[in-house]
Amino acid sequence: MKTTSEWNQMKQNGEKITMVTAYDYPSAKQSEAAGMDMLLVGDSLGMTVLGYTSTVQVTMGDMIHHAKAVRRGAPDTYMVVDMPFGTYHGDVDTSVENVLSLYQQTDANAIKLEGIDCLPVVKRAVRAGVPVVAHLGLTPQSVGVTGFKMQAGTQEAAMQLIEDAKAMEAVGASLLVLEAIPSDLAQRVTEALTIPTIGIGAGREVDGQVLVYHDLLQYGTDRLPKFVRAYADFNTAGVEGLSAYVHAVKNAEFPDEATTYKRKVFEE
């Protein structure tokens, strides 16, 4: 399993980092088998697997439950776990305690926090020994204020994001996720930092990419964001398979001889 210094070495060598969200044992197992560099147990699990309307409803218990399943499915892959909404926005002491708790209970390799306002928490958590992944640009936990749209679209906002990124690196963040920002800005941030940047809707001039498992496989998703490319269609394949099962049962085609246990247990 790679370490922080090895991620930095990949950046220096120009080797792209691959990351995908995983929320359970099967998705983690598949991702590890596919050779994924990193897994993100994202709070997006609220919408993708729990049916919530946003990430705001996700609890610490949800994150711990799913992260443990992911770790069992991918024991040898670097795992980053999201801090859920409201668990790191109060006083710094309580916030850091929550970070330490999530890190300890999930066997995570790093914990991810969104937004520049959590800078003091990142600093303290790193000092306590927790590798932290920062997240700037579009931060899904704040979409009630920002909306789901491109961020930092003005020069002033772009310059501020660059300063925020430098500040995150300065307090010890190991990696930086950049979401839904102009590609030229993402490139400038990447060039300004020594830590790797992971993009989602941030163009190709970053150090790595992350996508949601359910998006890239079209699994239960109705509409894909602009920045997603689908690599499979589980929606169609899944419905086709289930429909075939329904048809087989209705028409007494399943179970057949090959799927039936045979042994005489009653006398004629």
Q: What is the CATH number of the domain that holds 149?
A: 3.20.20.60
In a domain, 226, yes or no: yes
In a domain, 112, yes or no: yes
Is 114 part of any known ligand binding site? yes
Residues 83-113: pLDDT tens digits? 999 999 999 999 999 999 999 999 999 999 9
Average pLDDT over residues 152-179: 97
Is 82 part of any known ligand binding site? yes
pTM above 0.85, yes or no: yes
Beta bridge partners of 84: none
In a domain, 28, yes or no: yes
Give the closest residue to 190 by CA, choosing from 8, 3, 22.
8
For residues 77 and 18, give the distance between their C-alpha atoms in angstroms, rounded to a whole number. 11
Quickly tell me which residue has 């789901």 as its tokens.
Answer: 148
**191 a catalytic residue:** no
Beta bridge partners of 41: 81
C-alpha distance from residue 74 to each of 16, 23, 65, 68, 227 (Å): 20, 11, 15, 10, 26
Residues 29-49: pLDDT tens digits? 999 999 999 999 999 999 999
Give the closest residue to 167 by CA, choosing from 139, 136, 144.
136
Domain count along the chain: 1
For residues 45 and 62, give the distance between their C-alpha atoms in angstroms, rounded to a whole number. 9
In a domain, 238, yes or no: no
In a domain, 100, yes or no: yes
Whether residue 75 has pLDDT greater than 70 = yes
Question: Is-contact 16 209, C-beta < 8 A?
Answer: yes
Residues 183-195: pLDDT tens digits? 999 999 999 999 9
In a domain, 255, yes or no: no
Ramachandran class of 77: left when φ > 0, alpha when ψ lies in -120 to 50, beta otherwise: beta
Is 43 part of any known ligand binding site? yes
Whether residue 261 has pLDDT greater than 70 = yes
The residue type of 140 is P
Set 179, 253, 267, 268: catalytic member: 179
In a domain, 243, yes or no: no
The residue type of 176 is L
In a domain, 121, yes or no: yes
Terminal Cα distance for the chain, rounded: 62
Is 11 part of any known ligand binding site? no
Question: What domain range includes position 146?
Answer: 4-233
